[in-house]
Structure 1
Amino acid sequence: MTRDRARALLIDFDGVLRRWDPAPMIAVEVKYGLKPAALLETAMAWDIYRPAMAGEISDAEWMELVAQRLPIDNAAEAVAEWQAYRGEPDPDALAFVRSVRAAGRKVGLATNATDRLRGDLEALGLTGELDVIVSSWEIKVHKPAPEYFTRACQIIGEQPKHVLFVDDDDRAVRGARAAGLSAYRWSGPQHVAYLRKALDLPE
C-alpha cells in the first residue's frame, strides 16, 4: 500500500520560518542586571505562557505578568526592550516555502502564537508568503492537541492524510502524526529534498 502524497504544507513559525539571534535579547538582560535567558525562562513559565497562546490573554497582558515576576524595579522597561526584537525570517525555510508555492501547493503557517503574530508577519515581510495562517491564539487551541491539527487541515482545505507538517518540536510532530498528518522535524535545510519528495515535487 502506497502512502498518500501530501498536497499542502503546514509549517511552524519559531525555530523554522522565523529564527532568533540570542545576542539582542541577552544584551537587554545584561543591561538590566538579569542573568542570560532570565526573560525567556520567565515568559515560558507554563502558567502564563499557556493562556497567552491559547487566546485567553493578550500578548500585552502576558508581558505584564512577565514584568511582575522579574526581580528588578524597572521590569516593564526591560520587557519592552526585550520585546522590540522580533527575530528574522530563516532564508532556507523561506526558500522552501516559496518553492512549494511555486509548484502550486498551498502553504500554511501552523504555530502556537499570541495576538502579535500577524503584526510580526507583516513586519518581517512574510504575510504575502503564506496562503493561510493557523494561530493557536485565534482558534483557541494549541499544538500538540489533535483538535489543533484537525482545525489546521480544515483551514488549508485538505484531509490530514494529504497534509505535510514541518516543525522543530518533537511533541508537535508526534501530535500531528497522531492526528493523521505526515510530519517531519525540521533541523535545517539538509532535508529539503526529502520534504519535496513527500510533497511529490520535482527534484
Structure 2
Amino acid sequence: MTAPEIRHVLLDADEVLQHTPVSLEAAAGQLAERVSPELRADLWALEWPALRGEIDFFAESAAIARRHGAELDPAELFTQAWRSIVVDPDSTALVARLRVAGYGVHLGTNQEHHRARFMRADLGFDDGRFDVAVYSCDIGLAKPDPAYFDKAVAMIGAEPGSVLFVDDRQENVDGARSAGLVAERWELADGHAVLRELLAGHGVLVHG
C-alpha cells in the first residue's frame, strides 16, 4: 500500500512561524523583576490547564500574585512580553507560496486564550493566511496529546497521512506521528533552506 500524497501542511507557531523571546526577563524587562522564583513556579503550574482552555490564565495568575503579595498585574506582564514576538517574514512568505501551490496550510499551536487573542488581533494570524487554525485553548486539547492531532485532522477534513506537521519540539512531532500524521522537527534557527528540503523530501515542492 502506498502512502497518501501530502496535501496539507500543519505548522506550529512559536519558533516555526514566529520568533519568541528567550526569557521572560528579555521580553518584559523590569516588570519581570517583580516575579519571585516562588511566584514564577506557581504561574507556570497554570500552563497546561490554560493551554487546554480550562481556566482564565490572567484571572488565576492575578489571584496567585495577590497571594504572594506581589505588586504585579500579570496581564500587563505577559502582554508586555508578547510584544517581543516577531512574526518571521520568510515563514510567512513560505505559507503564501504553499497556498499558491495548492496545498492546504493550517496553524497548529498550543496557546491559552489571551495569547491566542493577541496572536489573532495584534500579530495578524486572523488575516486569512491559514485555511484552518487549531488553537489548543479552543478545542480543549494540547500537543503532544495524539487526541489534539485527531481533532486537527478532523477540522482540516483530511486523512492523517495526507497532513505534514512541522514543530520545533520533538515530543509534539512524536505525538503527531502516533496519530498517523507525517511530521518533522524544525525550528527557525535551522534555516528555511532546511525546511524546504524537509518539505521536498515528502513531495511538497514550492517555488521562489
TM-score of Structure 1 vs Structure 2, range by shorter chain: 0.7 to 0.9
Instruction: Map Cα deviations across residues 49-80 of structure 1 (whole Å, 9 max, x no partner).
Output: 1110111112322432563476x63122x651
Distance 1:91 1:199, change over 3 A: farther
Report 1:75-86 matches (<5 A): 75-76=72-73, 80-86=76-82
Instruction: Map Cα deviations across residues 36-56 of structure 1 (whole Å, 9 max, x no partner).
Output: x969954762x3111101111
Instruction: Map Cα deviations across residues 151-194 of structure 1 (whole Å, 9 max, x no partner).
Output: 10011111100000000011000000111111011123132222
Distance 1:29 1:62, change over 3 A: farther
Total equivalences in the alignment: 199
Provide the residue aligned with 2:197 in structure 1.
194
Distance 1:34 1:98, change over 3 A: same
| Preserved contact between residue 169 and residue 185 of structure 1 (Cα < 8 Å) | yes
| Preserved contact between residue 168 and residue 187 of structure 2 (Cα < 8 Å) | yes
Provide the residue aligned with 1:136 in structure 2.
136
Partners of 1:136 and 1:79 in 2: how far apart?
A: 20
Question: Percent of aligned pairs with the same residue?
Answer: 33
Q: State the AA in 2 paired with 1:200.
A: V
Provide the residue aligned with 1:124 in structure 2.
123
Q: State the AA in 1 paired with 2:99.
A: R
TM-score using structure 1 length: 0.83
Q: State the AA in 2 paired with 1:80.
A: E
C-alpha RMSD over aligned residues: 2.9
Shift of 1:124: 1.0
Provide the residue aligned with 1:99 in structure 2.
97
| Preserved contact between residue 146 and residue 179 of structure 1 (Cα < 8 Å) | yes
TM-score using structure 2 length: 0.81
